[in-house]
Amino acid sequence: MTNYDYDIITIGVGPAGLVVSAMGSEMGLKVCAIEKAKVGGECMNAGCIPSKALLRMAKTRHAVTKFPAMQMEEMREPEVKDPFSLIQEQLKAVVAKYDKKLGKVDMVKGEARFVDAHTVEVDGRQISARRIFICTGTRPAKPSIPGLDTIDNLLTNENLFHLEVMPKSMLIIGGGAIGAEMAQAFSRMGCRTTIVQMDPHLLPFADRFAGELLEECFKKEGIAVYNSRSITSVTKNEQGNVVLTTKEGETLEAERLLLAAGRTPVIDKLDLEKAGVQYTPKGIPVNANLQTNVPNIFAVGDCNGNYLFSHAAMHQGMIALMNIMRPWPFKKDFKKYVVPWTVFTEPQVSSVGLREADLIAAGIKYEVIEAKYADYGAAIAEQVTTGSVRVLASKYGKIYGASVIGEGSAEMINEWALAIQKKIRLVDIMLLQHSFPSMSFMNKSIGEMWMMGMLKNETMKKMMTKMLK
């Protein structure tokens, strides 16, 4: 048997690489983790965590606007000082926690590239392993917009959280998850934000109604949204401001420009050809076990182009690792697990399972059951009446998909994820007591609404009347 330096090498230590490395070493494997930048990857350093820190600050500042409605004296929104240095401080504490988890892992700092299917090179040092996990993530995609390359102070998620001062105004190319979250965060921190995107509604990956509702909320807060736009140029004017023009006739100007127009996999410098690993512009294709076309090489997380979320990356890492330990009949197919997601705007927008468009395309008959926050006593009393829980289900209560827009949605969606994954039906949700007055009580209401619908059916009515007599 060939001797290798390690059982496992992970290239990249973001959420995917962290899970593979930490779990692998906990399982007793000899693990080497290679990271060219910072442990924690995009998520911890330039993605989920700093963006949520900023959103929280923004929410706190914005809360002042709600004072009069709560019988408190009206106040001006407080001046913003230096949120970005605070965020960088907070990140150090977050990353330190994760660093600890890698206690027994041999960490190598540098950029890895393949030498062959079992060997990588980092700064001239060759390291071999029985199995190699590529966990290299993505970087911001750069659409071919005339003039984009001339914007010397272009913002992306990579430098956004290192700003020294809050800009007065910002144009955002993209109305997806990053564009929407950052538009609201910056706007609430006092920066006038404008979204310009080519898709017809915000959060193009969500059901249309979700994007439209979010846009309505954004407009009330003064965030401008331009959908279905074709950007013809971006330039800088004499004042140093960015000027963006569209084919539809707008000329928009702002101090800064944030690019949030999707992602590109970070695979170009890996020398994948030397290992024989196939790839496409969307990422490295993998099978159900997360193996590439070269069986001892795995591609886990964003770099394989499936579901670009941290929880999905971590889950894939766990599944891939479990699969290498399991004999064939017991291997798990990573695509069989549902992937809930949340966009952390206010209202939060969450979804899991099939969307209406998916059901229509597949020719599956479905019913829509919707419970509105505006009809729920606790939400009325707490003044959080925007949004709804909306479930797509069969007539007999099989749950296909759910979205929750509103207060507490990031927590509430996980119940629907469990229901879909474990094939729990609406009757079971109805029969589960939910603490009251939690927002997730509305999940139970959906079960009750479904049952009421069933009882309207003539056959059911007759049956019930007979039984009652």
Ligand X SMILES: Cc1cc2nc3c(=O)[nH]c(=O)nc-3n(C[C@H](O)[C@H](O)[C@H](O)COP(=O)(O)OP(=O)(O)OC[C@H]3O[C@@H](n4cnc5c(N)ncnc54)[C@H](O)[C@@H]3O)c2cc1C
290 vs 393 by CB, closer to ligand X: 290
Restricted to residues 221-240, the positions that interact with ligand NAD (CB under 6 A) are: 231
- Residue 186 CB, shortest distance to ligand X, in Å, is 12
117 vs 163 by CB, closer to ligand NAD: 163
Residue 179 touches which of ligand X, ligand NAD, none (Cβ within 5-8 Å per kind): ligand NAD
Query: First CA to last CA across the chain, in angstroms?
Result: 78
Restricted to residues 179-198, the positions that interact with ligand NAD (CB under 6 A) are: 179, 181, 197-198
Among 27, 107, 145, 224, binds ligand NAD (CB under 6 A): 145
Residue 255 touches which of ligand X, ligand NAD, none (Cβ within 5-8 Å per kind): none
Return residues touching ligand X (CB under 6 A): 11-17, 34-37, 41-43, 47-48, 51, 111-112, 135-138, 157, 178, 266, 269-270, 301-303, 308-311, 313, 344
197 vs 403 by CB, closer to ligand NAD: 197
Judged by CB under 6 A, the stretch of 177-185, 265-273, 318-326, 368-376 that binds ligand NAD is 177-185
- Residue 385 CB, shortest distance to ligand NAD, in Å, is 23
- Residue 34 CB, shortest distance to ligand X, in Å, is 5
Residue 17 touches which of ligand NAD, ligand X, none (Cβ within 5-8 Å per kind): ligand X
Q: Is 366 in the site for ligand NAD (CB under 6 A)?
A: no
Q: Is 199 in the site for ligand NAD (CB under 6 A)?
A: yes
Show the binding pattern over residues 35-74: x = contacts ligand NAD (CB under 6 A), - = does not. ----------------------------------------
Among 54, 122, 189, 261, binds ligand NAD (CB under 6 A): 261
Number of residues that bind ligand NAD (CB under 6 A): 25
Q: Is 283 in the site for ligand NAD (CB under 6 A)?
A: no
The binding site consists of: 52, 174-181, 262, 302
Binding region for ligand NAD (CB under 6 A): 143, 145, 173-179, 181, 197-199, 204, 231, 260-263, 308-309, 341-344
